């Protein structure tokens, strides 16, 4: 009896030592679980119906123990349920410092990178999350799309663990295998589009180079024509100097025969000047046609070159982008995916590829500095021709011969009618007014 009593006492002591709550409950009647402040904060986050309420409870919990995995996980889940994965990313980052194998946190980090088109940084957390969260459909789908994108063109290097996980996922998850197969088909179609655009770009570039070669040939012809024209100008200037000397001789001559000889010389020089001017006029007409043709060819070359660049940019954008049937979904919580509330339109699971002509494909053009408008070739030719005719008219007007003066007035009238927009027209008008009565 004494031994049995001692055994009972020992059992009571051991029970009090190893099961204090049970003993306390039995003795004092206090509930078996006592809620502490951190547990209350976690429960408040889980029960919160709004963003502000959940954030207030989270802030309170962080003042108690920021390194609590339960606190960070509760806030992460609540933000995903409220459609705020952007805020959940902060909790996910802190949670991964405490628990590097939290699949929900890894999936959130991967989603935020993928949504911002940072596909390579998204790859490693995505496949790790898929390995851990094998029942989370949105995490699996995101990982499958990223793996298909990565394997299509090895756009960067990843660590050995990530490569090992990528190889193991198709055989370890039926859903991943199905999503991966579907993603590969989309990537292949995207590759076909890129190849087509690359081919079109090469063709456009070849056409541009061909037209640019044609433009160079025309430019060389125009330069050659310009040199010939300059020679004619030199001949015209020489003829005008001969005319001035002949005019001087006729004014200095006293005998009739000398004056007649000088006049015949003047007439011959004038005929020579007219022949040179007619030749120059033909050259000017041909030069204008050649210049107009050159402008058209150059414009066509610029258009071809721009088209080639546009197609190249489009091909690059296709290579860097994702198929239109790819969609990034936040990690599911308890099997439910809540659409991202920070996106303007509800997430329909479709990611739009940038269209040609958007700012993503076409770089912003720098404003060109304003350049003073220059006179056209036609205007410059008319100005030069009017100046030549004005000089000849002055020579004729100063002559003592009536025929020469009449010829000068004709030239002045021609300048006023044919070259009225040139600077020479003003001076011609004044000269004509002074010599109209003579």
Residue 14 has pLDDT above 70, yes or no: no
- Provide the 3-class DSSP secondary structure of residue 327: coil
Nearest 5°: phi and psi at 279? -60, -45
Q: Cβ contacts of residue 246 below 8 Å, gap of 6+?
A: 262, 265, 266, 269
pLDDT band at 140 (very low <50, low <70, confident <90, very high): very high
pLDDT in tens, 344-361: 554 444 444 444 433 323
Topology annotation, domain 192-320: Helix Hairpins (1.10.287)
At residue 431, the pLDDT reads 85
Q: Could you report the per-residue pLDDT of 360-392, keeping only the tens digit for each?
A: 233 344 455 554 555 565 677 678 778 878 887
Instruction: Extract long-range pairs of 107-112: CB within 8 Å, 24+ residues apart.
Output: 107/133, 107/136, 107/138, 107/139, 107/142, 107/331, 108/76, 108/80, 108/330, 108/331, 110/139, 110/142, 110/143, 110/146, 111/85, 111/138, 111/142, 111/328, 111/329, 111/330, 111/331, 112/85, 112/86
Instruction: Report CA Rg, the chain.
Output: 46
pLDDT beyond 70 at 1: no
Question: Is there a contact between 127 and 140 (Cβ–Cβ < 8 Å)?
Answer: no
**Which string of DSSP letters, residue by residue, matches 163-202?**
HHHHHHHHHH-HHHHHHHHHHHHHHHHHHHHHHHHHHHHH
Residue 82, pLDDT above cutoff 70:
yes
Identify the band that residue 195 occupies on the pLDDT scale cut at 50, 70 and 90: confident
User: What pLDDT sits at residue 235?
Assistant: 86
| Phi, psi dihedral angles at 336 (to 5 degrees) | -115, 130
pLDDT score, position 259? 78
Q: What is the structure's pLDDT at 87?
A: 94
Rounded mean pLDDT, 195-222: 84
Asked if residue 297 lies in contact with residue 211, where contact means CB atoms within 8 angstroms, the answer is yes
Pairwise CA distance, residues 323 & 310, whole Å: 20
Give pLDDT tens digits for 302-324: 888 888 887 777 676 666 667 77
The better pLDDT of the pair 343, 80 is held by 80
- For the ranges 129-138, 158-167, 401-410, the maximum mean pLDDT occurs at 129-138
pTM of the model: 0.52
Residue with tokens 């003579």: 438
Chain-centroid distance of CA 367 in Å reads: 15
Q: Has residue 234 got a pLDDT over 60?
A: yes
pLDDT of residue 320: 65
Per the prediction, the chain carries an average pLDDT of 79
Give mean pLDDT, residues 6-12: 42
Question: Which letter does DSSP use for residue 35 in this model?
Answer: -
Nearest to 305 by CA among 212, 193, 197: 212
CA distance 304 to 427: 48
Reply yes or no on whether the pLDDT at 289 is more than 80.
Answer: yes
Predicted pLDDT of residue 232 = 84
Confidence at residue 375, expressed as pLDDT on a 0 to 100 scale = 59
Report the percentage of the chain scoring pLDDT > 90. Answer: 26
Domain coordinates in residue numbering, the chain: 1-33, 35-100, 111-172+328-351, 192-320, 387-438
Asked if 287 and 225 count as a contact pair (C-beta separation under 8 A), the reply is yes
């Amino acid at each position: 009896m004494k031994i049995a009593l001692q055994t009972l006492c020992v059992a009571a002591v051991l029970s009090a030592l190893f099961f204090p709550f049970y003993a306390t409950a039995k003795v004092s009647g206090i509930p078996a679980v006592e809620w502490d402040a951190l547990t209350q904060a976690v429960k408040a986050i889980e029960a919160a119906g709004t963003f502000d309420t959940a954030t207030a409870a989270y802030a309170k919990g962080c003042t108690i123990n920021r390194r609590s995995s339960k606190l960070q996980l509760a806030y992460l889940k609540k933000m995903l349920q409220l459609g705020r994965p952007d805020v959940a990313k902060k909790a996910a980052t802190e949670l991964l410092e405490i628990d590097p194998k939290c699949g929900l946190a890894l999936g959130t980090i991967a989603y935020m990178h993928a949504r911002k088109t940072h596909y390579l940084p998204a790859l490693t957390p995505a496949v790790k999350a898929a390995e851990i969260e094998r029942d989370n459909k949105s995490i699996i789908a995101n990982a499958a799309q990223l793996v298909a994108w990565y394997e299509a063109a090895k756009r960067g290097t990843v660590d050995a663990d990530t490569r090992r996980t990528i190889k193991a996922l198709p055989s370890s998850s039926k859903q991943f295998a199905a999503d991966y197969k579907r993603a590969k088909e989309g990537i292949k179609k995207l590759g076909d589009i890129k190849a087509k655009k690359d081919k079109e770009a090469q063709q456009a570039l070849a056409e541009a180079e061909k037209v640019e070669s044609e433009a160079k040939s025309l430019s060389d012809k125009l330069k050659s024509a310009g040199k010939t024209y300059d020679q004619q100008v030199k001949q015209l200037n020489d003829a005008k100097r001969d005319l001035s000397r002949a005019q001087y001789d006729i004014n200095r001559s006293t005998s009739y025969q000398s004056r007649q000889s000088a006049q015949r010389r003047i007439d011959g020089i004038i005929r020579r000047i007219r022949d040179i001017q007619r030749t120059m006029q033909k050259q000017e007409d041909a030069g204008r046609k050649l210049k107009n043709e050159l402008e058209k060819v150059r414009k066509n070359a610029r258009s071809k070159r721009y088209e080639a660049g546009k197609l190249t940019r489009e091909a690059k954008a296709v290579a860097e982008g994702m198929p239109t049937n790819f969609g990034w979904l936040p990690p599911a919580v308890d099997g439910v995916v809540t659409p991202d509330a920070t996106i303007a339109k509800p997430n329909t699971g479709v990611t739009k590829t940038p269209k040609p002509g958007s700012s993503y494909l076409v770089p912003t053009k720098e404003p060109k500095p304003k350049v003073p408008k220059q006179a056209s070739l036609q205007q410059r030719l008319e100005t030069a021709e009017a100046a030549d005719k004005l000089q000849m008219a002055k020579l004729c007007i100063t002559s003592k011969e009536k025929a020469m003066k009449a010829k000068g007035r004709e030239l002045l009238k021609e300048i006023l009618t044919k070259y009225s927009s040139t600077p020479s027209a003003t001076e011609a008008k004044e000269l004509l007014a002074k010599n109209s009565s003579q």
